[in-house]
Structure 1
Amino acid sequence: MDRGLQEIVDSLSLSLGRPVLIDDAELRPLAYSTQFGELDAVRTASILGRLAPDDARVALFAEGIRTATGPVHIPARPEIGMRARVCIPLVGAGRRLGYLWLFEEPAVNADELRLARAAAAEAAALVGPDADAQLIRRRHEQQLVTALLSSDPALAQAAAHDLEAEHYLPLRPLRVWVAAPASPAGEEWSAEALDRLRARLAAKQALCAELEQRLVCLAGERGSNAVLEALGALTSPRALIGQGDAAEALADAGTSYRRALAALRVAALQDSGIASWDALGVERVVTALPDAALEDLPEGLRRLLAGDQSLVQTLEAYLDHAGDVKRTAAALSLHRGGLYYRLRRIEEVAGVDLHDGEDRLLCHLALRLARLSPP
């Protein structure tokens, strides 16, 4: 007679005289026994919160468990409340389905590892069908997100209709979040981000996908804290996050997505790495302009932007202070004579008249464009 996961865990725990635990591929507990020994703080938090704590996830994945083909001995990390343990991957059809864990106090010997690997193989056969169904559902959700946020109104409307019929995203208003790594990152970064989002957000209460090399998440506004916490915990590199505006209907998700992309461009300039459409000012207009708009600026302005950056900083300070010489000089720690000299140089290089309102507007727009454009 076939055994369930809990029976596998309990039987192995009795045989080894130590706790045995099984997680899915996202480090969510599937089954665990407590007949022997004490659990550590990390495992207790995982069971209570139904997900491994962020610092433990980072530590465990850093040990290479995602790609390991056999048992991995993981040292203790007292600073995060994690005891030494052995990880036995659950693998099926070439895919990582989850992990079986044994605490290493005392050390796990070869015979115990043999029993644990046999139990992991048996557990993988049970977890596999669920993982297959989950993979199919994620592919379906990826297709729905791609269609819902496309520029084709017919595709977007059909996707919205399907999502409503399948009872997705019932909480309104909803928002769209877009995230990207702050510096170049591999595929594992995206996989970790998607894992975190899916683990933190209830099924059908959110949609997570990868679109145009960015992570996209749709969820009810009440789930915003969970989204920001999951993405904010990413490191090496950190995530830049753009938050769209609230939408009452799925048909409006495309607008929220477009505005989240605009906020993402601004997020790169924020210390927090996060920007929201609701908090944008003139950037709402500037982000709507293509990167190529810089090439359409007058030659003199382009020459100024590419040249002496002290002049660029002076121009920005002068315009931000509405042309007030006294306040601009104080902000730059410059004598007024030095400021007047720089302003004359700016006019000469850029070919503008800073007393002309239209030229000042053009200069300000050029500065904002230059800040938002990729290097």
Structure 2
Amino acid sequence: MPPVTVQDVVRLALPEGVVVAAGSAGLSHQVSWVATPRATPPVFTNLRGGEFVLVATSALHALDERLTLANLAERLAQVPIAAIAVQGDIPDQARATAETLRLPLLHLPDASDIREVEREVQRLISDYDAQIERRAAQLGHVLTQRSLAGAGVNGLLDTLAERTGRSLAFYSPTGEVRALRARGPARVALQTLQPRGTGATTHLGQQIWVQQIGQIASGDAAGRNFGYLALCGDTLDDWDRLAAHQGASALALELAKEQAVLAAEERLRGDFVQAVLVGAAADDKTLVQRGRELGYDLRQPHVALLCGVANGDDRAIARLAGALSAALSALGVAAPLMRRIDDVLCYIPAVSRGRRAHEIADLLHARLTDDIPGVLVAIGREAPALTHWSRSLREAEQALLIGRELLGNGRVLDFGDLGVYRLLLLLRESPELWEFYRTTLATLVDYDRDQHGELLKTLEAFFDHNGNLARTAEALHIHRNTLLYRLTRIKEISGRDPDVAEDRLALWLALKAHRVLKTISEPVT
């Protein structure tokens, strides 16, 4: 059994709320036993050194009015004892004396039961391992009660930090810091740590124990990995590891509960959005009232916003829905949200807190990109009434469908920015558009595919630079003569001359149609 120190007694035997009033330099003193004052003088007898003294100031005054806490500290320090734990007021003189003697002076809460404290210290000294287990069970009970009382994740972390006296951090499953209770070197170490599993590690000179919250396997309550909990200090022991385990268990239950609530709320919001999309005009008043009950003001215009990820499976879409919900909350935007098979849909107010929909979409995109690289965000045009929500959704879907290719995924894909593509989208399944494409550009597409050529790229650059040969050649990093040769080949293969206004317009429009038609595999006949 390891030697018991005053610090161990403070962490593993004393009640919550104990304060080290003075003499913190002596917290490493070893404790041999616990001693309490006698009912009659002399107050203490048979002290052999290393005792942990428990005393109430009222008992001292009852024994001898001349006996002060400072005098008692001076006498007991000669033995020497390990520490004094006091219930009652501690005068400044006693604090100064204890500090000088390097004798820990601990202030017990007024509601403490001295006899119960004595038994706890005795248990720790006589059976260290059993007391640690018992203390860990007590910590687990306290955390469970706090969770049931609605303390939430932050409340549980506060309790854990208070009970362990350690710096700690809570991380997401991917290792991002979600909450931190630390200062100094421990804070820096925890901020830069990237946990990957349960175990001990040393980082920036700090000892750290990482405990996974929940499990990826289906063994825990939710069958999910909720993230990681890390305790940090100069030295860690078995108590820290047990405390981390209890903390992780409590956090897993709390996070599972929160996710269950969020899932229920998400289903409710999704059902509401679906009801709006399929509702009849006669139901508008009912839907507005229902929206008000959910915290949405549906009397003002809204804009459909879609979020997607490339090759998103169910887990990716679920994560995206959670991230979008969190981002909306952080921005203070009340928006009904619905998870779909391949993306997440929400309707943001046209104006919220003085910000217009596109600005809100930009802020959401920035927040989501930090959490989910490669996320796509698209918006439709403003829907002035509920009956226009479906139209705004179709526009957002179209913007998401081709906007990434046209505009790139580094920005919000806005249907209003698609220009001529909005017309081509309406015609993309019409035989007339396919026939126009075949007679204008299809031969160039086939040539490039078969010959690994760059005629389409050349034609696009030519139009991007308004027919300026020098700037087009520079953009393509080719000689002017090479550009002229390619333009001649375009004329020969397509039968359209870029120097003729009508042919130039046809080629330009066909290039736009080419991008749109790539979104479907076969023409409609």
Question: What is the TM-score with the length of structure 2 in the denominator?
Answer: 0.52
In structure 2, C-alpha distance between the alignment counterparts of 1:175 and 1:42, rounded to whole Å = 43
Q: 1:17 is matched with which residue?
A: 165
Give the deviation of 1:368 after TM superposition: 1.5
Aligned residue runs from structure 1 range 298-313, under 5 A: 298=438, 301-308=441-448, 309-313=453-457
In structure 2, C-alpha distance between the alignment counterparts of 1:217 and 1:210, rounded to whole Å = 9
How many percent of aligned residue pairs carry the same amino acid? 24
Give the deviation of 1:255 after TM superposition: 2.6
- CA contact 1:208–1:217 (8 Å) conserved in 2: yes
Q: 1:255 is matched with which residue?
A: 391
Q: Which runs of 5+ in 2 are unaligned?
A: 1-140
Q: Which one-letter code corresponds to 2:267 in the other structure?
A: R
In structure 1, C-alpha distance between the alignment counterparts of 2:185 and 2:443, rounded to whole Å = 68
Q: 2:334 is matched with which residue?
A: 205
Deviation string for 1:114-171 (max 9, x for gaps)?
34323443455555544433221112222333454x5x56399679546534344338
**Aligned pair in 2 of structure 1 residues 200, 25: CA closer, same or farther (>3 Å)?**
farther
Q: Which one-letter code corresponds to 1:276 in the other structure?
A: D
1:232 aligns with 2:360: no
1:241 aligns with 2:389: no
In structure 1, C-alpha distance between the alignment counterparts of 2:178 and 2:489, rounded to whole Å = 66
Give the deviation of 1:367 after TM superposition: 0.9
In structure 2, C-alpha distance between the alignment counterparts of 1:269 and 1:346, rounded to whole Å = 23
SS at match of 1:206: coil
In structure 1, C-alpha distance between the alignment counterparts of 2:213 and 2:282, rounded to whole Å = 40
**Aligned pair in 2 of structure 1 residues 28, 322: CA closer, same or farther (>3 Å)?**
closer
- CA contact 1:160–1:251 (8 Å) conserved in 2: no
Give the deviation of 1:250 after TM superposition: 3.8
**Aligned pair in 2 of structure 1 residues 231, 146: CA closer, same or farther (>3 Å)?**
farther
Q: 1:285 is matched with which residue?
A: 423
Say how many residue pairs are matched.
346
Give the deviation of 1:304 after TM superposition: 0.8
**Aligned pair in 2 of structure 1 residues 240, 224: CA closer, same or farther (>3 Å)?**
closer
Deviation string for 1:13-51 (max 9, x for gaps)?
454331456689998979x877x988726989xxxxxxx
Give the deviation of 1:89 after TM superposition: 1.0
1:93 aligns with 2:237: no
Q: 1:367 is matched with which residue?
A: 511
**Aligned pair in 2 of structure 1 residues 138, 336: CA closer, same or farther (>3 Å)?**
closer
Aligned residue runs from structure 1 range 124-273, under 5 A: 124-125=252-253, 128-148=256-276, 150=277, 152=278, 154=280, 160-161=287-288, 163-170=290-297, 172-181=300-309, 183-202=310-329, 205-220=334-349, 221=351, 222=355, 223-235=360-372, 237-264=373-400, 265-271=402-408, 273=410
- CA contact 1:241–1:273 (8 Å) conserved in 2: no
**Aligned pair in 2 of structure 1 residues 127, 252: CA closer, same or farther (>3 Å)?**
same
Higher Rg of the two aligned structures: 2
Give the deviation of 1:213 after TM superposition: 0.5
In structure 2, C-alpha distance between the alignment counterparts of 1:329 and 1:167, rounded to whole Å = 58
Aligned with residue 492 of structure 2, among 326, 340, 348: 348
- CA contact 2:214–2:227 (8 Å) conserved in 1: yes
Larger RCO (alpha carbons 8 Å, 6+ apart): 1
Deviation string for 1:262-300 (max 9, x for gaps)?
332223343553232333322322344437877542256
- CA contact 2:207–2:236 (8 Å) conserved in 1: no
Q: Which one-letter code corresponds to 1:214 in the other structure?
A: D
In structure 1, C-alpha distance between the alignment counterparts of 2:429 and 2:203, rounded to whole Å = 49
**Aligned pair in 2 of structure 1 residues 310, 96: CA closer, same or farther (>3 Å)?**
closer
Q: Which one-letter code corresponds to 1:3 in the other structure?
A: Q
Q: Which one-letter code corresponds to 2:394 in the other structure?
A: R
- CA contact 1:262–1:287 (8 Å) conserved in 2: yes
Q: Which one-letter code corresponds to 2:454 in the other structure?
A: S
SS at match of 2:336: strand
Give the deviation of 1:239 after TM superposition: 1.8
Aligned with residue 116 of structure 1, among 207, 223, 244: 244
In structure 1, C-alpha distance between the alignment counterparts of 2:481 and 2:173, rounded to whole Å = 65
Give the deviation of 1:205 after TM superposition: 0.5
In structure 2, C-alpha distance between the alignment counterparts of 1:24 and 1:4, rounded to whole Å = 22
SS at match of 1:268: helix
In structure 2, C-alpha distance between the alignment counterparts of 1:164 and 1:360, rounded to whole Å = 52
